[in-house]
Amino acid sequence: MAYYIEPTGNDTRGLYEFFAYTNTVSDGIMFPIIMLVIWIIMFIATKRYSVSRAWTMASFFSFILSVPLMVMGMLAPKFMYLIILLLAVGVVWMKLED
């Protein structure tokens, strides 16, 4: 049986509190998984262009979403740095391809 912290009235007061609660219960892995899923969806959606452009676009979109999440404390900085690294790889890959 899974043991987790049961939500109180304060944990479900608003959207921020609810997301903070779910992130706490999942040991801080909820938003990195959401960012991974968003990255995959964006990569597949922009695949009609070259692979390097799809990679860069997915990484850029994930970066834009990860900045406010990190500022709010919902995403660990190491995951945002990983997204920045993916974006840098995509930019260099696009530059080398042209």
pLDDT tens column, 69-89? 999 988 999 999 999 999 999
Range 59-65, long-range pairs (CB < 8 A, 24+ positions): 59/83, 59/86, 59/87, 59/89, 59/90, 60/87, 60/90, 62/35, 62/38, 62/86, 62/87, 63/87, 65/35, 65/38
pLDDT tens column, 8-58? 777 778 888 888 888 888 888 999 999 999 999 999 999 898 999 999 999
